[in-house]
Structure 1
Amino acid sequence: MSAGMPHRYPQAEIDALYRAIRERRDMRHFLPDAVDPALLERLLQAAHHAPSVGFMQPWRFIRIRDDGLRRRIHALVEEERVATAQALGEREDEFMKLKVEGILDCGELLVAGLMDGRAPHVFGRRTMPQMDLASLACALQNMWLAARAEGLGMGWVSLFEPTQLARLLAMPAGAEPVAVVCLGHVPAFYEKPMLEQQNWAARRSLHELVSDDKWPGGEE
């Protein structure tokens, strides 16, 4: 440990953290094997230890145990997948060839949503109410990194109509679903993000996205 950095983790732990960040993947291909309940609890605890604006902890997780309900969620996603493809115009056929979810294949299926009654939480949200969504995204990222470190795959599916999914899950007024989370064992992790492997998009260079004192790409 460096004498000038007394709070620094041991190098091996730092390396492991950066490895999980680098090797995290949005997974679509899963094995049907069950997820150990103790492992699922650890991943949910990781999510629950995420930062949240005003310590509001807006995340809620629904574990989908009923197979019929899982299939109904899949049908909602499939409906939106077709609508998204049509909205893409000239890339419709290309999009339809992509595997965009593993809902029927993964060992565990969760729905992550925002709680109801969020309006009174104004600490950090008075001018930026969307920070509740940012807080939930942090929880999902915690779960994602923990899952990768544990050797499990996770996929975030956002192809659904929120009001339909909320109704299907009996969510109260004001609550809203944000992610269908596929979680489970995988045959292998993608060497690169799947959409990069499939030539859908490429990772941009960091220097294009970072600047000093003004917006990146502005005039000199």
Structure 2
Amino acid sequence: MNKFTSEDIETLENIILSRRDVRGNRFIDKDISKEDLEKILFAGVNAPSVGFSQPWEFVVVKDAAIRTKIKQSFFEENEKAADLFEGKKGDAYTQLKLEGISESALNIAVFYKPKEHPVLGQTSMKEAGVFSVVCAIQNMWLMARALGVGLGWVSILNPNKVKTILNAPEDRELIGYLCLGHVDFFYENPELEKLKWEKRKTIDEVLIYNHY
């Protein structure tokens, strides 16, 4: 078993605290090296998964025409979302840059691939397979940040349209659409925290012992 030093622990904590959701206005015109992309994907495929099912697939999208189609889905869904926020939040929403589909060096669509047979640990909670894919995305996010690569998760998309654009098999489920690229800088604090969109919660606010 590996033993980790206090310096290792501090480094991991720093990476976690420094992770940011990167928007299109931060990406710069610089390719991601093959080595860095492989490290990010390696982090993803080594995530924990229920029943060691490893139910993820990654579609690396560099083609500009495909990305333009994906971005059109974002525009359509973003117009619907903007109507849901009112007052100051509505004003702030219209000012936010919420994706970097075309500005980033590449996109990665992360899919859940269900098993045809029962999966250990997934017989009662079917969602555990999807949760496993989310763990893979988190691993990728942390590795990207450690490499100085920005990553933004675009959730304002129609997943079925993305599936069609990418010609994904019928049984696949889109879990995350990620934009990756080098950035001019990383914010010291999350952008939405800086804008006071929400207040950061403390551990005491969310910690419950034994029962509610």
Partner of 1:76: 73
Partner of 2:14: 19
Question: Is 2:40 aligned against 1:40?
Answer: no
Q: 1:96 aligns with which of 87, 94, 97?
A: 94
Q: 2:117 aligns with which of 100, 117, 120?
A: 120
> Per-residue deviation at 1:45?
0.4
User: TM-score, normalised on structure 1?
Assistant: 0.90
For residue 135 of structure 1, give the secondary structure of its aligned residue in structure 2: helix
1:1-220 correspondence to structure 2 within 5 Å: 8-28=3-23, 29-90=26-87, 91-115=89-113, 117-215=114-212
For residue 175 of structure 2, give the secondary structure of its aligned residue in structure 1: strand
d(CA) in 1 for partners of 2:2, 2:164: 47
Partner of 1:218: none
1:13-59 residue CA offsets vs partner (Å, 9 max, x unmatched): 21111110111111112112100011100110011000000111111
User: TM-score, normalised on structure 2?
Assistant: 0.93
d(CA) in 2 for partners of 1:122, 1:7: 29
- Point out 4+ residue stretches in structure 1 off by more than 4 angstroms: none
Which has more radius of gyration?
A: 1
> Per-residue deviation at 1:92?
2.9
d(CA) in 2 for partners of 1:143, 1:204: 24
1:79-101 residue CA offsets vs partner (Å, 9 max, x unmatched): 11111111234433321111111
> Per-residue deviation at 1:183?
0.7
Unaligned segments of structure 1, at least 5 residues: 1-5, 216-220
d(CA) in 2 for partners of 1:78, 1:128: 34
Unaligned segments of structure 2, at least 5 residues: none
Aligned residues between the structures? 209
- Indicate the percent of aligned positions where both proteins have the same amino acid: 34
For residue 177 of structure 2, give the secondary structure of its aligned residue in structure 1: strand
2:73 maps to amino acid: L
d(CA) in 2 for partners of 1:168, 1:181: 15
d(CA) in 2 for partners of 1:68, 1:93: 31
